[in-house]
Structure 1
Amino acid sequence: MVFIQNSNYLQFLAKFGVGGAHPGGINLSKEIMKNERILPASHILDVGCGTGQTAAYLASHYAAHVTGIDINPIMIEKARHRMKKAHVSVNIIQGSIEETSLPNEAFDFVLAESVLAFVNKQRALQEIFRLLKKGGRLIAIEFTVPMLLSTQQADDIQQFYGFDALLTKKDWVALFQETGFQDIRIQKNKDILSKPEFHISKDIESTLYDVMDQHMRMNEKYDTILDYRIYICTK
């Protein structure tokens, strides 16, 4: 977990309590979920749930059984506060998706919104596969580079965000297939956008404001490279 723990970008997200930081934000999440058969009996795992924005929506809108997991204690605290304030029943647990104590085949859906790029992908996908019921679905919104990058570009992006690797669409599909997933569907929807929400901590280091500024500069600098895809895979 060296990358995710040492990422100043992720610490910025936690301290500023950024909800909907993934591409498309909560509006994209809602649009994707509309096409899934989510029932009140459905069990959903939100991997890297952050402040719990998507998890709370799933629990309130679909009345589903929702569990959120995140490794960051600040995010966990903010997610639990959200659920309490909204009177929403969501099980929030702290831990890594690379290895959990959750039971085999416990979930109908696993949602990963810009999470797999930050962890050991093979271990995380194997764990997700274990947790999904037969016929269950992984829905992942993940950073995807459109082309092979120069060493300088790759180093710049990886060092700032804490990615251990930069994957193309073909790379992601190969990983899903190696894990055992089938019926892999790929989408891209850049028409849907959402304003991020903030639940700012009281004690924010001044360096994290610099991280926020750098993040904005990175988005401008690599506008055509910082891309994503939606991957929907079936166990």
Structure 2
Amino acid sequence: MISESKRVDEMNYFELIAWLGIGSSHPGGFPATKQNLEVIAVQPEEYVLDAGCGSGLTACFLAKTVGCKILGVDINPHMIEKARLRAEKEGVTHLVEFRVADVNKLPFSDNHFDIIICESITVFLDKEKVYREFYRVLKPKGRIADLEMVILRDLPPQVRYQMEDCFGSSTNPLSFEEWMKVVAQAGFEEIEIINPQPLKNNSNVVFNELKKDWVLVKDLTTKIRRQPALLPRLQKNANFIKKNRSYYGFGLVYGLKPLPKKLGFKDWIRSRIMGRKL
């Protein structure tokens, strides 16, 4: 958990978002979440993993609107604490569970979930590693639905430097084609980009989410009073996006885990001779 004595200027972007408890800091905010959920059509009988669940906004919304079971994971205990509070307040603890876990090494067996939803976490991580882990824990015919930022044209060195200064050195958005390629390399099929769109003028999602999420509003005033540098830090990030939004867009990276391939007779004979499984 983040120490209350840690200064805002000492926090990296993940720590800042966790400290604020923001659950929809991804491009497009919660309206993009709802738009994508309509398209992917989660069913009541499906078991969902919300990877990088944040403060549980998406998971609790799914529980209330669809009635499916969801397991949300986040590496930050502060986020999990807020997510559990949200689930209690919204009366969905019978459907939603939250755990501290690292998406790079998920503590679940193979073929465990029907669908994985994540929102703007893979952009900061080793994409090939994370997608392979998502592939492992999905059931055959399971789906990955990952809302991510994309670059629409090459970033000038100065823009990339400013981006990393605002959001961290690991920040690495890809083009639509590159996102699809890295998902395919993990083994997914039927890959597409759903709801692709450029960043809009109202893309200040951090400020927007702070204003309208009841979980966040109650202690925001106290945080600002204790940390005068908070608003300038948020304004710096917002100004970067406003100035450079023409370089960026976002969309839902969507793919399907195929059924296991059946071995033909020749492949079976070869595997017996070689003493290994194909």
The TM-score, its normalising length taken from structure 2, stands at 0.76
Question: 2-side partners of 1:186 and 1:14: how far apart?
Answer: 28
Shift of 1:69: 0.7
Which residue of the other structure, out of 185, 192, 206, is the alignment partner of 1:185? 192
Percent identity between matched residues is 27
Q: Is the 8 A contact 1:154 1:166 kept in 2?
A: no
Question: 2-side partners of 1:206 and 1:106: how far apart?
Answer: 45
Partner-residue secondary structure (3-state), 1:19: coil
Say how many residue pairs are matched: 230
The TM-score, its normalising length taken from structure 1, stands at 0.89
Question: 2-side partners of 1:146 and 1:189: how far apart?
Answer: 10
Instruction: Give the 3 Å change call, closer, same or farther, for CA 22–166 of structure 1 in structure 2.
Output: closer
Partner-residue secondary structure (3-state), 1:55: helix
2:120 maps to 1:114: yes
Question: 1-side partners of 2:11 and 2:148: how far apart?
Answer: 17
RMSD over aligned Cα atoms: 2.2
Q: Deviations over 1:80-119 (max 9, x none)?
A: 1101111212110112101111121111110111110112
Opposite residue 174 of structure 2, the aligned amino acid is: L
Q: In the alignment, which residue of structure 1 is the partner of 2:268?
A: none
5+ unaligned residues in a row in structure 1: which ranges?
A: 1-5
2:62 maps to 1:58: yes
Structure possessing the higher relative contact order (Cα contacts under 8 Å, 6 or more residues apart): 1
Q: In the alignment, which residue of structure 2 is the partner of 1:223?
A: 245
Q: Is the 8 A contact 1:158 1:166 kept in 2?
A: no
Q: In the alignment, which residue of structure 2 is the partner of 1:96?
A: 102
Q: In the alignment, which residue of structure 2 is the partner of 1:67?
A: 71
Instruction: Point out the structure with max Rg over C-alpha.
Output: 2
Q: In the alignment, which residue of structure 2 is the partner of 1:176?
A: 183
Opposite residue 79 of structure 1, the aligned amino acid is: A
Q: Deviations over 1:182-205 (max 9, x none)?
A: 111113146898842441465564
Moved over 6 A (4+): 191-194
Question: 2-side partners of 1:83 and 1:10: how far apart?
Answer: 22
Opposite residue 182 of structure 1, the aligned amino acid is: E
Q: Is the 8 A contact 2:162 2:240 kept in 1?
A: no
Which residue of the other structure, out of 79, 88, 111, is the alignment partner of 1:84? 88
Q: In the alignment, which residue of structure 2 is the partner of 1:213?
A: 235
Q: Deviations over 1:160-202 (max 9, x none)?
A: 2123423111221110111011111113146898842441465
2:130 maps to 1:124: yes
Q: Is the 8 A contact 1:145 1:167 kept in 2?
A: yes
Q: Is the 8 A contact 2:197 2:249 kept in 1?
A: no
